[in-house]
């Protein structure tokens, strides 16, 4: 297994589509099965990258040719590590997630090529629909991670706490980073610097399909 290092290039392009430019509704105007998490004073700090331009410290390339976003939870404390596959083929396809628990650092995974303890497939609908939340399914939940599948949704809006990253494979999503709207197009991943902040996401069209890595204690409601 080899590490693949890419040049970091942050996307500052702002969406112009009207559906992405709508104001975020006030919290007391929202509808859903539960009250949404309140807006936090601090913003989530969303950075959007093309798959090929992700920061090298989060990228791992498998010997099979697949490459993905690597996230270690509770580094050095025996948490879990997950790889969200973004490109390539072999036994893991784009949108699949591989989980190692207890956690293995990126260097260890790259050196020993261990078998993952869990292989969550993007199109496996055996996961649970999130009760009352349109266009959202939890494919896996445990050992420090939740794997979420978005869409295809009918123009849904969601409110979250606890998301670390979301990759879009078709269509587009929009992330509201404070007053800044950031478009996540197919072939892009959004990295959330502070998952404790409230994150607002909106489906840019009915073809939106994405996979996210979130905390096992994530909170969500309809927007």
Whole-structure pTM value: 0.82
Token pair recorded at residue 22: 């709508």
**For the chain, where are the E strands, in sequence order?**
46-50, 59-61, 67-72, 81-87, 97-100, 118-120, 128-129, 136-142, 145-150, 157-170, 172-177, 180-185, 188-192, 199-203, 209-222
Could you give all domains of the chain from N- to C-terminal order, each with its CATH number?
18-50+125-222 (2.60.120.10), 53-120 (no CATH)
Helices (H) and strands (E) in the chain, counts: 1, 15
pLDDT in tens, the chain (223 residues): 443 433 333 444 444 443 444 454 454 444 445 678 889 999 999 999 999 999 998 999 887 788 999 998 765 555 788 999 999 878 899 999 999 887 777 788 777 778 889 999 988 766 788 878 878 889 998 888 899 999 876 667 899 999 999 999 999 999 999 889 999 999 999 999 999 999 999 988 788 899 999 998 899 988 7
């Amino acid at each position: 297994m080899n590490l693949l290092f890419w040049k970091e290039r942050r996307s500052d392009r702002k969406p112009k589509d009207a559906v992405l430019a709508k104001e975020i509704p006030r919290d007391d105007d929202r509808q859903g099965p539960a009250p949404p998490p309140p807006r936090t004073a601090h913003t989530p700090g969303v950075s959007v990258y093309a798959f090929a331009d992700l920061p090298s410290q989060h990228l791992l390339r498998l010997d099979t040719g697949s490459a993905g976003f690597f996230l270690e939870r509770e580094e050095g404390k025996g948490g879990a590590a997950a790889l969200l596959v973004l490109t390539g083929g072999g036994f893991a396809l784009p949108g699949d997630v591989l989980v190692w628990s207890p956690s293995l650092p990126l260097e260890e995974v790259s050196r020993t090529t261990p078998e993952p303890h869990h292989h969550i497939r993007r199109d496996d609908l055996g996961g649970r629909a999130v009760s009352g939340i349109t266009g959202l399914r939890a494919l896996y939940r445990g050992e420090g991670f939740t794997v979420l599948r978005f869409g295809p949704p009918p123009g849904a809006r969601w409110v979250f706490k606890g998301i670390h990253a979301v990759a879009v494979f078709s269509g587009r999503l929009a992330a509201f980073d404070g007053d800044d709207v950031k478009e996540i197009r197919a072939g892009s991943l959004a990295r959330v610097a502070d998952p404790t902040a409230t994150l607002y996401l909106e489906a840019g069209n009915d073809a939106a399909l994405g996979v996210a890595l979130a905390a096992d204690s994530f909170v969500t409601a309809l927007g």
